[in-house]
Amino acid sequence: MANSKELVLSDSVGCPEFIQDLLPSAERTALLYHLSYLCLGGFPRLESLIRERALETQTLFASSGAVLLKCVSTSNNLVKSLFPMLMHAVENNEPSVAVKHLEKARSWIHDIIKDVEDMVYRYEHHNLSVASCTSDVFQEQSDNENQLVEHSDHIKNLNKAIQKLDEEMKKTVQDVANLEKKIEEKNAELERHLEHTSKKSNGMSIMAALVPFFGLLIKFIVDAATVPGEAAKTQSLKADLSRLTNEKRDLQNKEWDIHVKQTELELELASAKIHLGVIPDPVHLKDVQKCLSQIQQILVDLKKFWEKVASLLDSLQNKTFVAEDLIDELSDMKDDFLMSIEVAEECWARFGSSCQKAQAIFSVQFVDEYKFLDISPSSLTAAQRQQQHDFILNKLNHINTRASLK
């Protein structure tokens, strides 16, 4: 157990992966709105519709940032209030004090769960609003305009190229989905293994309750190596998971490369249609919906994470501070408990920092990334429009590819 005090926390240990995925999703949303605005903004009614939806998204992002700030506050409360009081309760053999503070922590966490649940509902409702906007674009297109498009060889060739990329994208998306299923199964196997291993050691059991992050628990088991064979199995499962995750990341990179190529061709297609006086298809609004759905799923994962934390703290309270037989034995595992709290403090501080960064992402999006709405696309020259197209494509090319459109 002494080795575990020397743990060096990596950046990922205190940050569940879903938090890190917020950045590319939020950035893409603004850029895709910008493309939609440029392509459809020359048509007054559509320009107004897109502006309304973009402003709704901007407001939603501000609310999302507020929820993440609450996650930061709760993480800080765990570090500065709950954990010190648990240490005090253990050192002074006062289980009733520990129970009182665990119940307070549970109320903080249930407040967050309720707030995140509300945000998930708001994203779902908003996505339907964007979908309605997309339908309105199609309704604006007339049969006469479609006939003009059908007689353009350039547009026909662009449609064929896009169709070819669509087929390649479908295959890649399916490959990613297959890998995600394998990763989910391997994660479940690893979680069962960690739960089984933690039951064999008081110290590990306490650590599992206070620090619900796989990375740290894996390192704890490997470093402690108190049960023969457990460390080796943990390493093997971790290696399998890392291999699958790397394969998925490679495929997601390929998926994003295809998406960028599609975006370039779709912009060229939109320009060709606009030149004919035809309303282009709202492809970028569809991509906005995908990004919003991804952010919604990230919030669902955040809700599940806090539900898991609440369950673990309940278990800690019931098994350690309520059961009379364990209270009598508390002095025997005092060192393990205190060491676990020390590690938990550092880990939760990092998680709070990660949530702070995620909150800052939404704050920047709210303040800066929707300024393009201040200028009507119809007032731009062809050169200015092209300049903005190039700028957006360049930014899309440089976005972190960890979270792909699905």
**405 lies in some domain:** no
**18 lies in some domain:** yes
Residues 159 and 254 in one domain: yes
- The pLDDT assigned to 211 comes to 62
In the listed set 278, 296, 329, which residue is the last one of a domain according to the structure? Answer: 278
The C-alpha angle with vertex 123 and arms to 118 and 124, in degrees rounded to 5, equals 95
**1 lies in some domain:** no
Other C-beta atoms within 10 Å of 178: how many?
12
pTM (2 d.p.): 0.78
In the listed set 278, 310, 344, which residue is the last one of a domain according to the structure? Answer: 278
Contact yes or no for 148/276 (Cβ under 8 A): yes
Number of domains in the chain: 2
Segments in 141-229 forming alpha helices (H) = 143-150, 153-198, 202-210, 214-224
Residues 55 and 132 in one domain: yes
Domain containing 244 equals 152-278
Name residues whose C-beta falls within 8 Å of residue 69's C-beta, 6 or more positions apart in sequence: 355, 356, 359
In the listed set 278, 309, 332, which residue is the last one of a domain according to the structure? Answer: 278
231-249 burial, b at 16+ Cβ within 10 Å, e below that, comes to bebbeebbeebeebeeebe
Residues 336 and 373 in one domain: yes
Residues 286 and 137 in one domain: yes
CA dist., res. 381 & res. 378, Å (int): 8
Residues 65 and 131 in one domain: yes
Residues 267 and 382 in one domain: no
Contact yes or no for 372/37 (Cβ under 8 A): yes
Name residues whose C-beta falls within 8 Å of residue 164's C-beta, 6 or more positions apart in sequence: none
Tell me which DSSP letter residue 92 carries.
T
Residues 273 and 287 in one domain: no
Q: How far is CA 275 from CA 135, 214, 270, 347, in A?
A: 22, 54, 9, 56
**220 lies in some domain:** yes
Secondary structure class of 307 (helix, strand, coil): helix
Contact yes or no for 305/212 (Cβ under 8 A): yes
CA dist., res. 149 & res. 151, Å (int): 5
**109 lies in some domain:** yes
Other C-beta atoms within 10 Å of 110: how many?
13
What φ, ψ does residue 150 adopt, rounded to 5°? -65, -20
**pLDDT digit string (tens) for the chain, length 406 residues:** 333 333 333 334 445 667 777 888 888 899 999 999 998 877 888 899 999 999 999 999 999 999 999 999 999 998 888 888 888 877 777 777 778 888 888 889 999 999 999 999 999 999 999 999 999 888 887 654 665 666 578 888 888 999 999 999 999 989 998 998 998 888 788 777 777 766 655 555 665 666 665 555 555 555 555 555 666 777 788 788 888 888 988 888 888 888 888 888 988 888 888 877 778 888 889 999 999 998 999 999 899 889 888 887 877 776 666 544 444 555 556 777 777 787 788 778 888 888 888 888 888 777 778 889 988 888 888 888 889 988 898 888 887 444 444 4
Summary count for the chain: helices (H), strands (E): 14, 0
Residues 218 and 111 in one domain: no
Residues 224 and 323 in one domain: no
**260 lies in some domain:** yes
- The string of pLDDT tens digits covering residues 323-372 is 444 445 555 567 777 777 877 887 788 888 888 888 888 887 777 788 89
CA dist., res. 194 & res. 283, Å (int): 44
The full length of the chain comes to 406
Residues 92 and 191 in one domain: no
**7 lies in some domain:** no
**385 lies in some domain:** yes
Residues 158 and 121 in one domain: no
Residues 130 and 211 in one domain: no
The C-alpha angle with vertex 91 and arms to 88 and 95, in degrees rounded to 5, equals 70
